[in-house]
């Protein structure tokens, strides 16, 4: 067992999969000679060379298209976006090509590829660099969507994503690359679509993912001091998501709070809340609560940004509110 940062766990996954399968390659801005904008690809250029660790111009549409073509030809590309904010200029390649060509070709083509990079707000990057894209990508058939929060999950899920024969959107977090945790020395994978209980409890179910995970866990600890034990479920995969695990927990606790980095209108949290209401209505003793971004463009000023994003204190308030303890 090793203690690794998330960036190191991701790098291990890339290294192991590139060694295992010579069809796997990485392409994106600064992935090679600069060793990666967040050092996720550090050391890979020296080990695998420029044909498999490909530096690109600032041209997301172009290198996403190269990846789509490579996947159609039988390779397994990993497309790194320096930030998912920059994926906006590659929507046509991702959503009209990667997500649809298997369907449009009647199954003649598969698209085994990963689009990965940091998603959602980081710290004082203002509105154009703080988009949370999970609701957008989850809204389209043809892709799988993963969001990680620990080194263990990062490595196991990235390996599964690389091996998957479908396009996978793989969300990381700029502010969480340095988070440390245990990673097994032996090889392992984590199935896409399987949630994880990060904190057991019986009083309230808290559903979360990505950057919401540390917020939810800290909020649960604050609520525990007030006598309410929350069960925190990290979805890890957003499309598909582990409905069975969530419903089982909600039917046990009879209450649900969803904590996530994203906007309230039409968000992934809204979809989760709707399905809980549809499938667990008779078990609910309180309305489903959501804690997410304020419905505004993300401010640049640090004090205003803090008011716009979920915090442990507000997570605790939501937990206590659905338990009728506020």
The catalytic residue positions are 60, 129
H helical segments located in the chain: 6-20, 44-48, 60-72, 91, 101-104, 134-138, 151-163, 212-224, 243-253, 268-280, 302-308, 312-322
In whole angstroms, what separates CA 115 from the centre of its chain?
A: 11
Query: Of the candidates 262, 237, 26, which has an alpha carbon nearest to the alpha carbon of residue 144?
Result: 237
Residue 116's CB is within 10 A of a number of other CB atoms, namely 25
Query: Of the candidates 197, 216, 170, which has an alpha carbon nearest to the alpha carbon of residue 9?
Result: 170
CA torsion, points 101, 239, 154, 39, in degrees to nearest 10? 50
2, 183 in Cβ contact below 8 A? yes
**Integer Cα distance of 214 and 261 in angstroms:** 11
98, 144 in Cβ contact below 8 A? no
**b (16+ CB within 10 A) / e for 176-201:** bbebebebeeeeeebebbbbbebbeb
**Integer Cα distance of 219 and 317 in angstroms:** 8
**Integer Cα distance of 27 and 52 in angstroms:** 8
93, 111 in Cβ contact below 8 A? no
């Amino acid at each position: 067992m090793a203690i690794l940062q998330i960036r190191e766990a991701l790098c291990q996954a890339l290294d192991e999969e590139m060694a295992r399968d010579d069809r796997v390659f990485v392409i994106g801005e600064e992935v090679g000679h600069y060793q990666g904008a967040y050092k996720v690809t550090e050391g890979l250029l020296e080990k695998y060379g420029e044909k498999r660790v490909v530096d690109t111009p600032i041209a997301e549409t172009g290198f996403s298209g190269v990846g789509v073509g490579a996947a159609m030809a039988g390779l397994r590309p990993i497309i790194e976006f320096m930030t998912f904010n920059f994926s906006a200029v590659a929507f046509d390649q991702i959503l009209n090509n990667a997500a649809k060509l298997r369907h449009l070709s009647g199954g003649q083509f598969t698209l085994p590829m990963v689009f990965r990079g940091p998603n959602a707000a980081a710290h004082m990057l203002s509105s154009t660099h703080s988009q949370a894209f999970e609701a957008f990508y989850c809204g389209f058939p043809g892709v799988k969507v993963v969001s990680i929060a620990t080194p263990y999950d990062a490595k196991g899920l990235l390996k599964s994503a690389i091996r998957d024969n479908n396009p996978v959107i793989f969300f990381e977090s700029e502010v969480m690359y340095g988070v440390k945790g245990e990673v097994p020395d032996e090889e392992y994978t984590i199935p896409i679509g399987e949630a994880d209980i990060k904190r057991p409890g019986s009083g309230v179910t808290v559903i979360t993912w990505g950057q919401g995970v540390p917020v939810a866990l800290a909020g649960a600890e604050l609520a525990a001091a007030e006598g309410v034990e929350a069960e925190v479920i990290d979805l890890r995969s957003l499309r598909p998501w582990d409905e069975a695990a969530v419903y089982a927990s909600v039917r046990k606790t009879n209450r649900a709070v969803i904590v996530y980095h994203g906007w309230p209108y039409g968000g992934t949290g809204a979809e989760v809340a709707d399905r809980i209401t549809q499938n667990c209505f008779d078990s609910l003793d309180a309305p489903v609560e959501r804690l997410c971004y304020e419905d505004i463009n993300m401010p640049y000023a640090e004090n205003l940004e803090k008011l716009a994003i979920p915090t442990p204190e507000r997570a605790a308030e939501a937990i206590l509110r659905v338990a009728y303890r506020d």
